[in-house]
Amino acid sequence: MTETATKVPVKTENKGPQNIARQPWHPLESLHREVDRLFNDFGSGFWRSPFRQLSTNVEPLWRSAFTVAAPAVDIAEKDGAYEITADLPGLDEKNVEVQVANGNLTIKGEKKEEKEEKNKDYYLQERHFGSFERTFAIPEGVEADKIEASFKKGVLTIALPKKVEAQKPAKKVEIKAA
C-alpha cells in the first residue's frame, strides 16, 4: 500500500505587530526564558544558523499543562533549496498550518483528543487540547513565493527554494603576496 504526500497550503500574509493579551504571571517563566535565550544564543550567528528561531519580546508568561511540546525540527541545506522537516506524530494535515509573513516562516499545529468510557460501575470522560507554534527567520536567498509544504505519515516537509543568484558556487579569491 503506497501513501502519497498531501500538500499543506502555505499562507502568505503581511500583518503588522499583534497585540497579545498578557496571561497570568508564572514565577519561574522569566528564568526559563532567559536560560532558553542563553542556550539559543550560544555560538549562534546567521552564517551558522540561517533559520535561527525568531526572538521576540512578546511571549506568553505561562504555559498550560496541556500545551503540546514544540516539535523538533531538522533543517538541511541542499543544492537548490533549504528543507525543513518536522515530526508531528498524531496530527493530520488539517491540524497543521504553515504561514509566511514579514520574512518569517511559522509552523502551527493543534491536537485535540477526547476519550469517553462508559462502564457498569463508572463513567470516564477526558479531553486534552494542545497547540504549538514555531517561527523561523527566512534567509535572504530564498524565494518566499515558491515555498511548498507536504505532509506524509506524520512528517511535515517544507521546501524553501533558493534564488538563482544564491545557488551560484562560491568564487575563490586569489591572495597575492605584497
Grid coordinates belonging to 121: 460501575
Task: Print the domain residue range for 115.
Answer: 6-13+38-166
CA distance 174 to 160: 32
Q: Which residues in the chain land under pLDDT 70?
A: 1-3, 13-26, 41-69
Residue 90: CATH number of its domain? 2.60.40.790
**Which residue, chain included where needed, has cell 479531553?**
127
Structural domain includes residue 159? yes
What pLDDT is recorded for position 38? 72
Structural domain includes residue 100? yes
Beta-sheet strand order (sheet of 96-101): 10-13, 96-101, 104-118, 123-137
CA distance 40 to 114: 35
What pLDDT is recorded for position 41? 62
Other Cβ atoms closer than 10 A to 118: 8
The domain tally of the chain equals: 1
Q: How many CA atoms lie within 13 A of 173 on its CB side?
A: 2
pLDDT in tens, 98-107: 999 888 999 9
